[in-house]
Structure 1
């Protein structure tokens, strides 16, 4: 395995991680900022409110994009398994 081939596989893996984790992280980030602004405006500093809001946003994001994310992950894994003979020899 050449260094270029290894870097290509690492890049593909990191791209897949970005596509899988990106929507969930973005949803939690947006909800966290909105809840933080609301808590700062109302002076309600209850950490449970932020946690529950983020958990609901995460669950909703997984429910909405879970099928697409799973297909993307399975496609990457299948392609990786098919590339193994080329990677070894």
Structure 2
């Protein structure tokens, strides 16, 4: 396996990781910022509120996007397994 081929496969794995984790991280980021603004405005600085809100938002995002993200992961894995003979030979 050449270094260029290895880097190409590594890049594909990183892109797949970004496609799978990106939407979930974005949801948690937005909820964290909104809760932070609300807590700053009300001067209610309780870390449990932010944690519970982020956990609930992440759970809702997983329910909403879980099948799409899992489908992307399965597609990437199948394509990777199909490329194994080309990677070795």
Return the TM-score normalized by structure 1.
0.98
Distance in structure 1 (CA, Å) of the matches to 2:4 and 2:61: 35
Deviation at 1:83, TM superposition (A): 0.5
Distance in structure 1 (CA, Å) of the matches to 2:60 and 2:12: 27
Q: Which residue of 1 aligns with 2:60?
A: 60
Deviation at 1:40, TM superposition (A): 0.5
Distance in structure 2 (CA, Å) of the matches to 1:19 and 1:62: 14
Structure 1 residue runs without a partner (length 5+): none
- 1:19-44: CA deviation from partner (whole Å, max 9, x where unpaired): 00000000000000000000011000
1:44 is the counterpart of 2:44: yes
Distance in structure 1 (CA, Å) of the matches to 2:71 and 2:25: 19
Cα RMSD after superposing both structures: 0.5
Runs ≥4 residues deviating over 6 A: none
Structure 2 residue runs without a partner (length 5+): none
Q: Which residue of 2 aligns with 1:32?
A: 32
Superposition map of 1:15-30 within 5 A: 15-30=15-30
Return the TM-score normalized by structure 2.
0.98
Distance in structure 1 (CA, Å) of the matches to 2:61 and 2:16: 17
Three-state SS of the structure 1 residue aligned to 2:45 is coil
